[in-house]
Amino acid sequence: GAACLSLPVLYLGFGLLGTPGVGKSTLGKELASRTGLTYISVGDLAKEEQLYDGFDEEYECPILDEDRVIDELEDKMHEGGVIIDYHGCDFFPEHWFHIVFVLRTDNSFLYDRLESRGYKGKKLQDNIQCEIFQTLYEEAMLSYRKEIVHQLPSNTPEDLERNLDQIVQWVEQWKKDNN
Ligand code: DAT
């Protein structure tokens, strides 16, 4: 298949984190197509495989069954070459990731993106607060060695292009150093 055209990417695990709406799936999918890495959205996976354990009445959403998510992903993470997209990370095993990027978006941009996604009321406010308080950046800094956690601005299409260029370059270097 097409994957044979690129060098195998040994054991590279890659975390793409941040508040909903910051641009994880946009960046992750484009990165996958430029690097040959596999993009996995934990949210989508949970939906497809129904990896849930109960229902959160306050937020009106199913509660992720973290143990089953880990079971489901463990083999893929050991094969490597995977980009994992999720907002949180405190339940992922530390050895999964060689590098973690936390995307950051200014309030005004994020507000518009979440509103046009249909978020309103408490859900909208809580997600904006999550970004203001840099909750997910701090979670990443507590969950992984600080040296592997990087913040990237994700406000504009120019940011997206710059982030793509920078990460593609990093991945290319990683392949050279590790194969
Ligand atoms: P996430 O996966 O983090 O929830 P997304 O990739 O679905 O976010 O992006 C949310 C919306 O914002 C979507 O309409 C695309 C847009 N977007 C993403 N990154 C952007 C950027 N750097 N500049 C402008 N818009 C962006």
pLDDT at 58: 82
Mean pLDDT of 29-38: 96
| pLDDT tens figures, 66-118 | 999 999 999 999 888 999 999 988 999 999 999 999 999 999 999 999 999 99
pLDDT tens digits for range 110-162: 999 999 999 999 999 999 999 999 999 999 999 999 999 999 999 999 999 99
Cβ-proximal residues to 144 (8 Å cutoff; 6+ apart), any chain: 15, 89, 94, 97, 100
The pTM for the full model equals 0.93
Beta bridge partners of 13: 82
- Amino acid identity of 76? K
pLDDT at 16 over 90: yes
Residue located nearest, by CA, to atom 9 of ligand 1: 23
Residue 40 pLDDT > 50: yes
Mean pLDDT of 163-177: 94
Query: Is the distance from CB of 83 to CB of 37 less than 8 angstroms?
Result: yes
Return d(Cα 142, Cα 13) in angstroms, integer: 18
Report CA(178)–ligand 1 centroid distance (Å): 31
Q: Is the pLDDT of residue 2 over 70?
A: no
Q: Tell me the C-alpha distance between 86 and 64, whole Å.
A: 11
Measured in Å, residue 21 CA sits from the centre of ligand 1 at 5
Cβ within 8 Å of residue 149, ≥6 positions away? 100, 102, 137, 140, 141
Looking at the CA of residue 159, tell me the nearest atom of ligand 1: 22
Pairwise pLDDT comparison (3 vs 108), residue with the higher score: 108
Which position has the token pair 């970004």?
131
Q: Which of 16-20, 59-63, 118-122 has the lowest mean pLDDT?
A: 59-63
Given this model, what pLDDT does residue 26 score?
A: 98
Q: Is the pLDDT of residue 7 over 70?
A: no
ipTM: 0.99
Instruction: Determine the pLDDT at residue 178.
Output: 84
Contact 86, 41 (CB under 8 A): yes
The pocket around ligand 1, CB under 6 angstroms, is made up of 18, 20-26, 113, 154-157, 159-160
